[in-house]
A and B are shown apart, each in its own frame.
Chain A
Amino acid sequence: MDDLFAVPRGWLESFGEIVKFCARILGDIASLRVFKYFGEVLRQAGILIVSSTLVIWGLVFIIGLQCGIEGAYFDRSVGVPAYAGVFAAWCDLRELVPLCFGYMMAAKVGTGIVAEIGSMRISDEIDALEVMGISGVTFLCATRLLGSMLVLPFVYLCSIGAGFFASYLAVVQQIGDVSSGGYFLIFWQFQNPPDVLYSLIKAMAMAIVIVLVGCYYGYTATGGPVGVGTATAKSMVFNIVSVHVIGMLGTQLFWGANPRAPIGG
Protein backbone atom coordinates (compact mmCIF):
# COMPACT_ATOMS: atom_id res chain seq x y z
CA MET A 1 0.00 0.00 0.00
CA ASP A 2 2.87 2.29 0.77
CA ASP A 3 4.12 2.04 -2.79
CA LEU A 4 0.74 2.86 -4.18
CA PHE A 5 0.66 6.23 -2.50
CA ALA A 6 4.32 7.04 -2.86
CA VAL A 7 3.91 8.79 -6.21
CA PRO A 8 0.95 11.01 -5.34
CA ARG A 9 2.60 11.80 -2.03
CA GLY A 10 5.70 12.86 -3.92
CA TRP A 11 3.57 15.15 -6.06
CA LEU A 12 1.92 16.65 -3.03
CA GLU A 13 5.26 17.27 -1.40
CA SER A 14 6.74 18.96 -4.44
CA PHE A 15 3.53 20.96 -4.82
CA GLY A 16 3.96 22.11 -1.22
CA GLU A 17 7.56 23.07 -1.96
CA ILE A 18 6.49 25.09 -4.99
CA VAL A 19 3.85 26.91 -2.97
CA LYS A 20 6.37 27.78 -0.26
CA PHE A 21 8.89 29.01 -2.81
CA CYS A 22 6.28 31.12 -4.60
CA ALA A 23 5.22 32.65 -1.31
CA ARG A 24 8.81 33.82 -0.81
CA ILE A 25 8.87 35.47 -4.23
CA LEU A 26 5.51 37.14 -3.73
CA GLY A 27 6.67 38.22 -0.28
CA ASP A 28 9.67 39.94 -1.85
CA ILE A 29 7.36 41.89 -4.11
CA ALA A 30 4.75 42.66 -1.47
CA SER A 31 7.40 43.87 0.98
CA LEU A 32 8.91 46.02 -1.80
CA ARG A 33 12.31 44.38 -1.27
CA VAL A 34 12.47 43.78 -5.00
CA PHE A 35 12.63 47.53 -5.63
CA LYS A 36 16.25 47.49 -4.48
CA TYR A 37 16.89 45.90 -7.86
CA PHE A 38 14.52 47.95 -9.94
CA GLY A 39 17.09 48.27 -12.71
CA GLU A 40 17.07 44.52 -13.05
CA VAL A 41 13.24 44.54 -13.11
CA LEU A 42 13.27 46.95 -16.03
CA ARG A 43 15.94 44.91 -17.80
CA GLN A 44 13.85 41.77 -17.49
CA ALA A 45 10.76 43.61 -18.69
CA GLY A 46 12.71 44.84 -21.70
CA ILE A 47 13.98 41.37 -22.52
CA LEU A 48 10.42 40.07 -22.39
CA ILE A 49 9.16 42.73 -24.79
CA VAL A 50 11.97 42.29 -27.25
CA SER A 51 12.12 38.52 -27.30
CA SER A 52 8.60 37.25 -26.69
CA THR A 53 5.86 39.64 -27.80
CA LEU A 54 5.96 39.00 -31.54
CA VAL A 55 5.82 35.27 -31.21
CA ILE A 56 2.86 35.50 -28.82
CA TRP A 57 0.97 37.85 -31.13
CA GLY A 58 1.80 35.65 -34.10
CA LEU A 59 0.35 32.54 -32.49
CA VAL A 60 -2.77 34.37 -31.40
CA PHE A 61 -3.19 35.80 -34.88
CA ILE A 62 -3.09 32.33 -36.42
CA ILE A 63 -5.62 30.95 -34.00
CA GLY A 64 -7.85 33.98 -34.68
CA LEU A 65 -7.79 33.18 -38.40
CA GLN A 66 -8.64 29.54 -37.79
CA CYS A 67 -11.40 30.39 -35.42
CA GLY A 68 -12.88 32.88 -37.88
CA ILE A 69 -12.87 30.39 -40.74
CA GLU A 70 -14.39 27.55 -38.75
CA GLY A 71 -16.96 29.86 -37.22
CA ALA A 72 -18.03 31.30 -40.54
CA TYR A 73 -18.52 27.89 -42.17
CA PHE A 74 -20.27 26.48 -39.13
CA ASP A 75 -22.72 29.38 -39.02
CA ARG A 76 -23.33 29.03 -42.73
CA SER A 77 -24.09 25.32 -42.27
CA VAL A 78 -26.68 25.98 -39.58
CA GLY A 79 -28.19 28.78 -41.61
CA VAL A 80 -27.15 31.84 -39.61
CA PRO A 81 -24.08 33.09 -41.48
CA ALA A 82 -24.65 36.58 -40.16
CA TYR A 83 -23.76 35.35 -36.70
CA ALA A 84 -20.13 34.54 -37.50
CA GLY A 85 -19.07 37.37 -35.18
CA VAL A 86 -20.11 35.30 -32.17
CA PHE A 87 -17.15 33.05 -32.56
CA ALA A 88 -14.73 35.89 -32.58
CA ALA A 89 -16.40 37.47 -29.60
CA TRP A 90 -16.55 34.33 -27.52
CA CYS A 91 -14.09 31.81 -28.69
CA ASP A 92 -11.25 34.24 -29.23
CA LEU A 93 -11.66 36.41 -26.22
CA ARG A 94 -12.76 33.86 -23.65
CA GLU A 95 -10.87 30.72 -24.57
CA LEU A 96 -8.43 30.68 -27.41
CA VAL A 97 -6.53 33.87 -26.89
CA PRO A 98 -5.83 33.10 -23.20
CA LEU A 99 -4.90 29.52 -24.05
CA CYS A 100 -2.55 30.44 -26.86
CA PHE A 101 -1.03 33.16 -24.76
CA GLY A 102 -0.53 30.59 -22.00
CA TYR A 103 1.04 28.07 -24.38
CA MET A 104 3.49 30.55 -25.75
CA MET A 105 4.30 31.91 -22.31
CA ALA A 106 5.02 28.38 -21.10
CA ALA A 107 7.02 27.42 -24.16
CA LYS A 108 9.02 30.58 -24.60
CA VAL A 109 9.14 32.46 -21.32
CA GLY A 110 8.70 29.67 -18.78
CA THR A 111 11.29 27.33 -20.24
CA GLY A 112 13.61 30.27 -20.86
CA ILE A 113 13.51 31.12 -17.16
CA VAL A 114 14.20 27.53 -16.12
CA ALA A 115 17.14 27.31 -18.49
CA GLU A 116 18.62 30.64 -17.42
CA ILE A 117 18.23 30.28 -13.69
CA GLY A 118 19.00 26.55 -13.81
CA SER A 119 22.29 27.07 -15.59
CA MET A 120 23.16 29.78 -13.09
CA ARG A 121 22.43 27.31 -10.32
CA ILE A 122 24.63 24.53 -11.64
CA SER A 123 27.55 26.81 -12.45
CA ASP A 124 27.54 28.23 -8.88
CA GLU A 125 26.44 31.66 -10.11
CA ILE A 126 23.53 31.75 -7.66
CA ASP A 127 25.89 30.82 -4.84
CA ALA A 128 28.18 33.62 -6.01
CA LEU A 129 25.29 36.06 -5.82
CA GLU A 130 24.35 34.89 -2.35
CA VAL A 131 27.92 35.22 -1.14
CA MET A 132 27.89 38.81 -2.34
CA GLY A 133 25.01 39.31 0.09
CA ILE A 134 22.35 39.39 -2.60
CA SER A 135 19.36 37.10 -2.28
CA GLY A 136 19.01 34.92 -5.35
CA VAL A 137 15.25 34.68 -4.87
CA THR A 138 14.86 38.44 -4.85
CA PHE A 139 17.39 39.29 -7.53
CA LEU A 140 16.57 36.53 -10.01
CA CYS A 141 12.99 35.48 -9.35
CA ALA A 142 11.11 38.44 -7.89
CA THR A 143 12.57 40.78 -10.52
CA ARG A 144 11.43 38.49 -13.31
CA LEU A 145 7.95 38.22 -11.88
CA LEU A 146 7.58 41.95 -11.39
CA GLY A 147 8.99 42.63 -14.85
CA SER A 148 6.39 40.29 -16.32
CA MET A 149 3.61 41.88 -14.34
CA LEU A 150 4.61 45.27 -15.69
CA VAL A 151 4.56 44.43 -19.38
CA LEU A 152 2.31 41.42 -19.86
CA PRO A 153 -1.09 43.14 -19.46
CA PHE A 154 -0.14 45.37 -22.35
CA VAL A 155 1.16 42.44 -24.37
CA TYR A 156 -2.00 40.52 -23.69
CA LEU A 157 -4.40 43.31 -24.63
CA CYS A 158 -2.55 43.61 -27.91
CA SER A 159 -2.89 39.85 -28.41
CA ILE A 160 -6.64 40.14 -28.06
CA GLY A 161 -6.50 42.81 -30.74
CA ALA A 162 -4.44 40.55 -32.97
CA GLY A 163 -6.90 37.67 -32.51
CA PHE A 164 -9.91 39.85 -33.29
CA PHE A 165 -8.24 41.34 -36.30
CA ALA A 166 -7.40 37.89 -37.65
CA SER A 167 -10.97 36.64 -37.18
CA TYR A 168 -12.29 39.73 -38.90
CA LEU A 169 -9.97 39.13 -41.83
CA ALA A 170 -11.08 35.51 -42.13
CA VAL A 171 -14.81 36.10 -41.77
CA VAL A 172 -15.32 39.33 -43.64
CA GLN A 173 -12.47 39.59 -46.10
CA GLN A 174 -11.85 35.95 -46.91
CA ILE A 175 -15.21 34.18 -46.66
CA GLY A 176 -17.41 37.23 -47.00
CA ASP A 177 -20.81 35.88 -45.89
CA VAL A 178 -21.36 39.00 -43.80
CA SER A 179 -20.57 42.64 -44.38
CA SER A 180 -18.17 44.43 -42.15
CA GLY A 181 -21.02 46.30 -40.45
CA GLY A 182 -23.06 43.16 -39.90
CA TYR A 183 -20.09 41.40 -38.43
CA PHE A 184 -19.35 44.11 -35.93
CA LEU A 185 -22.99 44.42 -34.91
CA ILE A 186 -22.98 40.80 -33.70
CA PHE A 187 -19.41 40.97 -32.48
CA TRP A 188 -20.16 43.83 -30.11
CA GLN A 189 -23.52 42.46 -29.06
CA PHE A 190 -21.93 39.30 -27.71
CA GLN A 191 -19.44 40.88 -25.42
CA ASN A 192 -19.14 43.68 -22.93
CA PRO A 193 -16.20 45.37 -21.28
CA PRO A 194 -16.06 43.09 -18.21
CA ASP A 195 -15.41 40.18 -20.58
CA VAL A 196 -12.13 41.77 -21.57
CA LEU A 197 -11.25 42.23 -17.94
CA TYR A 198 -12.08 38.62 -17.13
CA SER A 199 -10.07 37.42 -20.05
CA LEU A 200 -7.18 39.55 -18.86
CA ILE A 201 -7.45 38.12 -15.36
CA LYS A 202 -7.34 34.59 -16.76
CA ALA A 203 -4.26 35.32 -18.80
CA MET A 204 -2.44 37.12 -16.00
CA ALA A 205 -3.14 34.24 -13.62
CA MET A 206 -1.57 31.93 -16.19
CA ALA A 207 1.40 34.21 -16.71
CA ILE A 208 2.10 34.55 -12.99
CA VAL A 209 1.91 30.81 -12.44
CA ILE A 210 4.16 30.15 -15.43
CA VAL A 211 6.83 32.58 -14.30
CA LEU A 212 6.73 31.31 -10.71
CA VAL A 213 6.94 27.68 -11.77
CA GLY A 214 9.79 28.50 -14.14
CA CYS A 215 11.67 30.21 -11.31
CA TYR A 216 11.09 27.26 -9.00
CA TYR A 217 12.33 24.61 -11.40
CA GLY A 218 15.33 26.71 -12.40
CA TYR A 219 16.27 27.67 -8.86
CA THR A 220 16.10 24.11 -7.59
CA ALA A 221 17.80 22.47 -10.57
CA THR A 222 20.46 19.93 -9.65
CA GLY A 223 22.52 17.36 -11.49
CA GLY A 224 24.42 19.33 -14.09
CA PRO A 225 23.26 20.24 -17.61
CA VAL A 226 21.12 17.11 -17.82
CA GLY A 227 19.37 18.19 -14.63
CA VAL A 228 18.57 21.57 -16.18
CA GLY A 229 17.08 19.79 -19.20
CA THR A 230 14.95 17.57 -16.99
CA ALA A 231 13.79 20.56 -14.95
CA THR A 232 12.84 22.38 -18.14
CA ALA A 233 10.75 19.47 -19.34
CA LYS A 234 9.05 19.12 -15.95
CA SER A 235 8.22 22.81 -15.84
CA MET A 236 6.66 22.58 -19.31
CA VAL A 237 4.40 19.72 -18.24
CA PHE A 238 3.39 21.51 -15.08
CA ASN A 239 2.73 24.74 -16.93
CA ILE A 240 0.66 23.26 -19.75
CA VAL A 241 -1.53 21.53 -17.19
CA SER A 242 -1.81 24.74 -15.18
CA VAL A 243 -2.77 26.75 -18.25
CA HIS A 244 -5.67 24.42 -18.90
CA VAL A 245 -6.77 24.26 -15.29
CA ILE A 246 -6.71 28.05 -14.99
CA GLY A 247 -8.54 28.38 -18.31
CA MET A 248 -11.22 26.00 -17.19
CA LEU A 249 -11.61 27.50 -13.73
CA GLY A 250 -11.75 30.99 -15.20
CA THR A 251 -14.48 30.05 -17.64
CA GLN A 252 -16.47 28.38 -14.88
CA LEU A 253 -16.07 31.33 -12.59
CA PHE A 254 -16.67 34.19 -15.02
CA TRP A 255 -19.09 32.73 -17.54
CA GLY A 256 -20.20 29.38 -16.14
CA ALA A 257 -23.36 30.60 -14.46
CA ASN A 258 -24.17 33.40 -16.85
CA PRO A 259 -22.98 33.40 -20.46
CA ARG A 260 -23.82 37.11 -20.62
CA ALA A 261 -25.17 36.70 -24.10
CA PRO A 262 -28.28 38.12 -25.76
CA ILE A 263 -29.74 34.69 -26.47
CA GLY A 264 -33.32 33.64 -25.86
CA GLY A 265 -33.99 36.47 -23.47
Chain B
Amino acid sequence: MSFEDSEGTPIAGDLADGSPAAAAGPELTTRPAPPPGASEEEYANHSYKVYPSGRRNVVEFDNTYKSFGRNQILRGLTMGIPEGMVSMILGPSGTGKSVCIKHMVGLLYPDSGDVRVQGESVPDMPDEQLFEMRKKFGLLFQDGALFSSMNLYDNVAFPLRQHTEKSEQEIEEIVMRRLTEVGLGYSRDKLPNELSGGMRKRAGFARALVLEPDILLFDEPDSGLDPVRTALLGELILEIHREMMEDAKAQKKPYLPTFAVVTHDIMSARRVADYINVLWRGRIVEAGPAQDMLNSDNPFIRQFLAGESQGPLTMD
Protein backbone atom coordinates (compact mmCIF):
# COMPACT_ATOMS: atom_id res chain seq x y z
CA MET B 1 0.00 0.00 0.00
CA SER B 2 2.73 2.39 -0.98
CA PHE B 3 0.31 4.93 -2.39
CA GLU B 4 -0.94 6.02 0.99
CA ASP B 5 2.31 7.40 2.21
CA SER B 6 3.65 8.41 -1.20
CA GLU B 7 2.22 11.86 -1.01
CA GLY B 8 -0.39 11.41 1.61
CA THR B 9 -1.02 15.00 2.46
CA PRO B 10 -4.54 15.69 3.60
CA ILE B 11 -6.48 18.09 1.36
CA ALA B 12 -6.60 20.79 3.93
CA GLY B 13 -2.81 20.90 3.98
CA ASP B 14 -2.70 21.31 0.19
CA LEU B 15 -4.86 24.35 0.38
CA ALA B 16 -3.23 26.01 3.30
CA ASP B 17 -1.43 28.62 1.23
CA GLY B 18 -3.63 31.64 0.96
CA SER B 19 -6.59 30.17 -0.92
CA PRO B 20 -9.96 31.33 0.44
CA ALA B 21 -10.91 27.98 1.88
CA ALA B 22 -7.58 27.68 3.61
CA ALA B 23 -8.16 25.34 6.48
CA ALA B 24 -5.90 23.90 9.07
CA GLY B 25 -7.43 20.53 9.67
CA PRO B 26 -11.15 20.20 10.10
CA GLU B 27 -11.36 23.23 12.37
CA LEU B 28 -11.38 26.40 10.34
CA THR B 29 -9.20 29.29 11.37
CA THR B 30 -10.38 31.83 8.79
CA ARG B 31 -13.76 31.77 7.09
CA PRO B 32 -13.68 32.59 3.39
CA ALA B 33 -15.74 35.64 2.43
CA PRO B 34 -19.02 34.95 0.64
CA PRO B 35 -18.85 35.28 -3.16
CA PRO B 36 -19.41 38.73 -4.67
CA GLY B 37 -23.06 39.70 -4.53
CA ALA B 38 -24.00 37.18 -1.85
CA SER B 39 -24.59 37.79 1.82
CA GLU B 40 -22.96 36.05 4.75
CA GLU B 41 -26.39 34.63 5.77
CA GLU B 42 -26.74 32.68 2.56
CA TYR B 43 -23.52 30.90 3.44
CA ALA B 44 -24.24 30.57 7.15
CA ASN B 45 -24.56 26.80 6.85
CA HIS B 46 -21.33 26.43 4.93
CA SER B 47 -18.90 25.39 7.61
CA TYR B 48 -16.31 24.68 4.86
CA LYS B 49 -14.97 21.86 7.00
CA VAL B 50 -12.83 19.34 5.19
CA TYR B 51 -12.13 16.18 7.17
CA PRO B 52 -8.80 14.73 6.03
CA SER B 53 -8.93 11.72 3.75
CA GLY B 54 -5.27 10.81 4.07
CA ARG B 55 -4.93 10.64 0.30
CA ARG B 56 -3.72 13.05 -2.34
CA ASN B 57 -6.37 14.53 -4.59
CA VAL B 58 -6.49 13.44 -8.22
CA VAL B 59 -8.94 16.16 -9.14
CA GLU B 60 -8.84 19.55 -7.45
CA PHE B 61 -10.99 22.62 -7.82
CA ASP B 62 -9.27 25.74 -6.63
CA ASN B 63 -11.53 28.74 -6.02
CA THR B 64 -13.39 28.10 -9.26
CA TYR B 65 -16.02 30.51 -10.54
CA LYS B 66 -18.37 29.80 -13.40
CA SER B 67 -21.49 31.59 -14.51
CA PHE B 68 -23.82 31.30 -17.49
CA GLY B 69 -24.90 34.84 -18.20
CA ARG B 70 -26.25 36.18 -14.91
CA ASN B 71 -26.70 32.70 -13.55
CA GLN B 72 -23.79 32.10 -11.18
CA ILE B 73 -23.21 28.38 -10.75
CA LEU B 74 -19.77 27.73 -9.27
CA ARG B 75 -19.00 30.50 -6.81
CA GLY B 76 -15.54 29.92 -5.49
CA LEU B 77 -15.65 26.15 -5.42
CA THR B 78 -12.74 24.47 -3.68
CA MET B 79 -13.04 20.74 -3.73
CA GLY B 80 -10.92 17.63 -3.96
CA ILE B 81 -11.53 14.10 -5.21
CA PRO B 82 -9.15 11.83 -3.27
CA GLU B 83 -7.25 9.13 -5.07
CA GLY B 84 -8.29 5.50 -4.93
CA MET B 85 -11.63 6.19 -3.29
CA VAL B 86 -15.25 6.12 -4.31
CA SER B 87 -16.31 9.73 -3.81
CA MET B 88 -19.84 10.99 -3.87
CA ILE B 89 -20.78 14.49 -4.93
CA LEU B 90 -24.08 15.33 -3.31
CA GLY B 91 -26.12 18.46 -3.58
CA PRO B 92 -29.56 19.82 -4.28
CA SER B 93 -30.86 19.65 -7.84
CA GLY B 94 -29.54 22.46 -10.02
CA THR B 95 -26.53 23.39 -7.85
CA GLY B 96 -24.04 22.62 -10.59
CA LYS B 97 -22.92 19.05 -10.04
CA SER B 98 -23.06 18.25 -13.74
CA VAL B 99 -21.34 21.54 -14.50
CA CYS B 100 -18.65 20.57 -12.04
CA ILE B 101 -18.07 17.24 -13.78
CA LYS B 102 -17.82 18.94 -17.15
CA HIS B 103 -15.06 21.16 -15.75
CA MET B 104 -13.00 18.12 -14.79
CA VAL B 105 -12.80 16.90 -18.37
CA GLY B 106 -12.42 20.30 -20.00
CA LEU B 107 -15.85 20.44 -21.62
CA LEU B 108 -16.43 23.67 -19.74
CA TYR B 109 -13.82 26.17 -18.65
CA PRO B 110 -13.93 28.18 -15.41
CA ASP B 111 -14.32 31.95 -15.57
CA SER B 112 -11.64 32.16 -12.93
CA GLY B 113 -9.84 29.82 -10.58
CA ASP B 114 -8.29 26.53 -11.53
CA VAL B 115 -9.18 22.89 -12.06
CA ARG B 116 -6.34 20.40 -11.78
CA VAL B 117 -6.26 16.76 -12.79
CA GLN B 118 -3.35 14.74 -11.46
CA GLY B 119 -1.68 18.04 -10.68
CA GLU B 120 -2.03 19.59 -14.14
CA SER B 121 -4.21 22.57 -14.81
CA VAL B 122 -7.01 21.66 -17.23
CA PRO B 123 -7.84 25.18 -18.47
CA ASP B 124 -4.19 25.75 -19.37
CA MET B 125 -3.81 22.61 -21.46
CA PRO B 126 -3.32 22.91 -25.20
CA ASP B 127 -5.78 20.85 -27.25
CA GLU B 128 -3.47 17.94 -27.94
CA GLN B 129 -2.67 17.47 -24.28
CA LEU B 130 -6.32 17.86 -23.32
CA PHE B 131 -7.33 15.03 -25.64
CA GLU B 132 -4.60 12.83 -24.17
CA MET B 133 -5.65 13.74 -20.63
CA ARG B 134 -9.25 12.84 -21.37
CA LYS B 135 -8.25 9.28 -22.11
CA LYS B 136 -7.70 8.91 -18.37
CA PHE B 137 -11.40 9.52 -17.83
CA GLY B 138 -14.51 7.49 -18.25
CA LEU B 139 -17.66 9.54 -18.00
CA LEU B 140 -21.27 8.51 -17.70
CA PHE B 141 -23.41 11.47 -18.73
CA GLN B 142 -26.58 12.28 -16.89
CA ASP B 143 -28.71 11.18 -19.84
CA GLY B 144 -26.46 8.42 -21.10
CA ALA B 145 -25.29 10.19 -24.29
CA LEU B 146 -25.18 6.96 -26.25
CA PHE B 147 -24.54 7.37 -29.97
CA SER B 148 -28.01 7.10 -31.40
CA SER B 149 -26.81 5.83 -34.77
CA MET B 150 -25.14 2.74 -33.27
CA ASN B 151 -26.55 -0.25 -31.49
CA LEU B 152 -25.64 -1.00 -27.88
CA TYR B 153 -22.82 -3.33 -28.74
CA ASP B 154 -21.13 -0.83 -31.06
CA ASN B 155 -21.62 1.94 -28.53
CA VAL B 156 -19.76 0.04 -25.85
CA ALA B 157 -17.16 -1.23 -28.30
CA PHE B 158 -16.52 2.25 -29.71
CA PRO B 159 -13.82 3.40 -27.24
CA LEU B 160 -12.01 0.08 -27.60
CA ARG B 161 -12.04 0.27 -31.38
CA GLN B 162 -10.81 3.85 -31.36
CA HIS B 163 -8.12 3.64 -28.72
CA THR B 164 -6.82 0.08 -28.64
CA GLU B 165 -5.41 -2.37 -31.14
CA LYS B 166 -7.48 -5.23 -29.77
CA SER B 167 -8.90 -7.80 -32.14
CA GLU B 168 -12.66 -7.99 -32.70
CA GLN B 169 -12.68 -11.18 -30.68
CA GLU B 170 -11.06 -9.61 -27.62
CA ILE B 171 -13.34 -6.63 -27.97
CA GLU B 172 -16.39 -8.84 -28.06
CA GLU B 173 -15.26 -10.60 -24.90
CA ILE B 174 -14.82 -7.34 -22.99
CA VAL B 175 -17.97 -5.72 -24.30
CA MET B 176 -20.17 -8.72 -23.58
CA ARG B 177 -18.74 -9.00 -20.07
CA ARG B 178 -19.57 -5.36 -19.37
CA LEU B 179 -23.02 -5.57 -20.94
CA THR B 180 -23.84 -8.70 -18.99
CA GLU B 181 -22.70 -7.06 -15.76
CA VAL B 182 -25.28 -4.33 -16.23
CA GLY B 183 -27.93 -6.80 -17.36
CA LEU B 184 -28.04 -5.85 -21.01
CA GLY B 185 -26.43 -8.91 -22.56
CA TYR B 186 -29.62 -9.76 -24.41
CA SER B 187 -30.14 -6.27 -25.82
CA ARG B 188 -26.84 -5.96 -27.64
CA ASP B 189 -28.41 -5.32 -31.03
CA LYS B 190 -30.92 -2.73 -29.89
CA LEU B 191 -30.62 0.91 -30.85
CA PRO B 192 -30.59 3.45 -28.01
CA ASN B 193 -34.02 4.82 -28.91
CA GLU B 194 -35.49 1.36 -28.44
CA LEU B 195 -34.40 1.32 -24.80
CA SER B 196 -35.84 2.71 -21.61
CA GLY B 197 -34.09 5.56 -19.83
CA GLY B 198 -32.70 3.24 -17.16
CA MET B 199 -31.39 0.82 -19.77
CA ARG B 200 -29.64 3.67 -21.58
CA LYS B 201 -28.10 4.67 -18.26
CA ARG B 202 -26.75 1.19 -17.69
CA ALA B 203 -25.38 1.00 -21.23
CA GLY B 204 -23.64 4.34 -20.71
CA PHE B 205 -22.21 2.93 -17.52
CA ALA B 206 -20.79 -0.04 -19.42
CA ARG B 207 -19.31 2.24 -22.05
CA ALA B 208 -17.61 4.46 -19.46
CA LEU B 209 -15.96 1.41 -17.89
CA VAL B 210 -14.75 -0.36 -20.92
CA LEU B 211 -11.28 1.21 -21.14
CA GLU B 212 -10.73 0.87 -17.38
CA PRO B 213 -9.59 4.48 -17.02
CA ASP B 214 -7.88 5.98 -13.96
CA ILE B 215 -10.78 8.25 -13.13
CA LEU B 216 -14.42 7.34 -13.54
CA LEU B 217 -17.12 9.95 -13.28
CA PHE B 218 -20.74 8.89 -13.03
CA ASP B 219 -23.39 11.55 -13.29
CA GLU B 220 -26.40 10.08 -11.51
CA PRO B 221 -25.92 6.47 -12.54
CA ASP B 222 -28.95 5.49 -10.50
CA SER B 223 -31.58 7.96 -11.63
CA GLY B 224 -34.29 6.19 -13.58
CA LEU B 225 -33.49 2.81 -12.08
CA ASP B 226 -35.77 0.78 -9.85
CA PRO B 227 -34.74 0.43 -6.17
CA VAL B 228 -33.38 -3.07 -6.61
CA ARG B 229 -31.31 -2.15 -9.64
CA THR B 230 -30.08 0.94 -7.80
CA ALA B 231 -28.85 -1.22 -4.96
CA LEU B 232 -27.28 -3.68 -7.38
CA LEU B 233 -25.62 -0.87 -9.28
CA GLY B 234 -24.13 0.39 -6.03
CA GLU B 235 -22.68 -3.03 -5.38
CA LEU B 236 -21.42 -3.24 -8.95
CA ILE B 237 -19.62 0.08 -8.54
CA LEU B 238 -17.94 -1.17 -5.38
CA GLU B 239 -17.02 -4.45 -6.94
CA ILE B 240 -15.56 -2.89 -10.07
CA HIS B 241 -13.63 -0.45 -7.92
CA ARG B 242 -12.22 -3.30 -5.86
CA GLU B 243 -11.20 -5.19 -9.00
CA MET B 244 -9.57 -2.17 -10.54
CA MET B 245 -7.72 -1.43 -7.29
CA GLU B 246 -6.26 -4.91 -7.27
CA ASP B 247 -5.23 -4.61 -10.92
CA ALA B 248 -3.69 -1.21 -10.32
CA LYS B 249 -1.69 -2.44 -7.35
CA ALA B 250 -0.57 -5.56 -9.16
CA GLN B 251 0.57 -3.50 -12.13
CA LYS B 252 2.02 -0.76 -9.87
CA LYS B 253 0.16 1.94 -11.78
CA PRO B 254 1.17 5.50 -10.85
CA TYR B 255 -2.43 6.38 -9.96
CA LEU B 256 -5.05 4.31 -8.25
CA PRO B 257 -8.54 4.11 -9.75
CA THR B 258 -10.70 6.96 -8.50
CA PHE B 259 -14.47 7.08 -8.81
CA ALA B 260 -16.63 10.14 -8.44
CA VAL B 261 -20.36 9.56 -8.35
CA VAL B 262 -23.03 12.23 -8.46
CA THR B 263 -26.19 10.99 -6.90
CA HIS B 264 -29.41 11.98 -5.20
CA ASP B 265 -29.85 8.60 -3.66
CA ILE B 266 -28.81 8.90 -0.02
CA MET B 267 -29.13 5.19 0.58
CA SER B 268 -26.56 4.36 -2.08
CA ALA B 269 -24.38 7.20 -0.88
CA ARG B 270 -24.39 5.67 2.59
CA ARG B 271 -23.65 2.22 1.23
CA VAL B 272 -21.11 3.00 -1.44
CA ALA B 273 -19.26 6.18 -0.55
CA ASP B 274 -15.79 6.29 0.94
CA TYR B 275 -15.77 10.07 0.72
CA ILE B 276 -18.52 12.66 0.44
CA ASN B 277 -18.52 16.18 -0.97
CA VAL B 278 -21.66 18.21 -0.33
CA LEU B 279 -22.16 21.03 -2.77
CA TRP B 280 -24.59 23.92 -2.32
CA ARG B 281 -24.76 27.41 -3.76
CA GLY B 282 -21.61 26.85 -5.74
CA ARG B 283 -19.43 25.87 -2.80
CA ILE B 284 -18.64 22.88 -0.66
CA VAL B 285 -20.63 22.90 2.55
CA GLU B 286 -18.55 20.16 4.09
CA ALA B 287 -16.47 17.32 2.78
CA GLY B 288 -14.79 14.29 4.23
CA PRO B 289 -14.71 10.52 4.62
CA ALA B 290 -18.22 9.06 4.74
CA GLN B 291 -18.09 8.23 8.44
CA ASP B 292 -17.20 11.77 9.46
CA MET B 293 -19.86 13.21 7.21
CA LEU B 294 -22.60 10.94 8.51
CA ASN B 295 -21.75 12.04 12.03
CA SER B 296 -21.51 15.70 11.11
CA ASP B 297 -23.37 18.20 13.28
CA ASN B 298 -23.87 20.68 10.44
CA PRO B 299 -27.65 21.21 10.12
CA PHE B 300 -27.58 21.30 6.32
CA ILE B 301 -25.57 18.09 6.07
CA ARG B 302 -27.80 16.39 8.60
CA GLN B 303 -30.93 17.44 6.73
CA PHE B 304 -29.54 16.43 3.38
CA LEU B 305 -28.11 13.08 4.40
CA ALA B 306 -31.34 12.20 6.18
CA GLY B 307 -33.52 13.49 3.34
CA GLU B 308 -35.78 15.54 5.60
CA SER B 309 -38.03 18.40 4.62
CA GLN B 310 -37.26 20.41 7.78
CA GLY B 311 -34.00 22.31 7.70
CA PRO B 312 -32.00 25.00 5.95
CA LEU B 313 -32.78 23.69 2.42
CA THR B 314 -36.16 24.74 1.01
CA MET B 315 -37.73 24.61 -2.45
CA ASP B 316 -36.36 27.97 -3.60
Contacts and interface: CB of A to CB of B under 8 A. Distances in A.
B65 interface: no
A130 B141 CA distance: 12
A195 interface: no
A131 B134 contact: yes
18 contacts: A123-B143, A123-B145, A123-B148, A124-B141, A124-B143, A125-B146, A127-B102, A127-B107, A128-B139, A128-B141, A130-B107, A130-B131, A131-B105, A131-B107, A132-B134, A133-B131, A133-B132, A133-B163
A242 B48 CA distance: 57
A133 B102 contact: no
B3 interface: no
Contacts of B163: 132-133
Interface string A107-145: 000000000100110011101101111110000000000
Interface residues of B, number: 22
Given A116-B149, A133-B135, 10 more contacts: A119-B148, A120-B147, A120-B148, A123-B148, A125-B146, A125-B147, A128-B146, A128-B147, A131-B137, A133-B134
Contacts, number: 48
B173 to A, nearest CB: 20
Where chain A touches its partner, the secondary structure class is helix
Contacts of A124: 141-143, 145
Given A119-B148, A123-B148, A130 B143 contact: no
A128 B208 CA distance: 10
A129 to B, nearest CB: 8
Interface in B150-178: 158-159, 162-163
Nearest to B133: A133
A119 B148 CA distance: 9
B145 A130 contact: no
Contacts of B147: 120, 125, 128
A131 B139 contact: yes
Interface in B103-132: 105, 107, 127, 131-132
Contacts of B105: 130-131
B304 to A, nearest CB: 27
A230 to B, nearest CB: 19
A135 B131 contact: yes
A132 B158 CA distance: 9
Contacts of B139: 128, 131
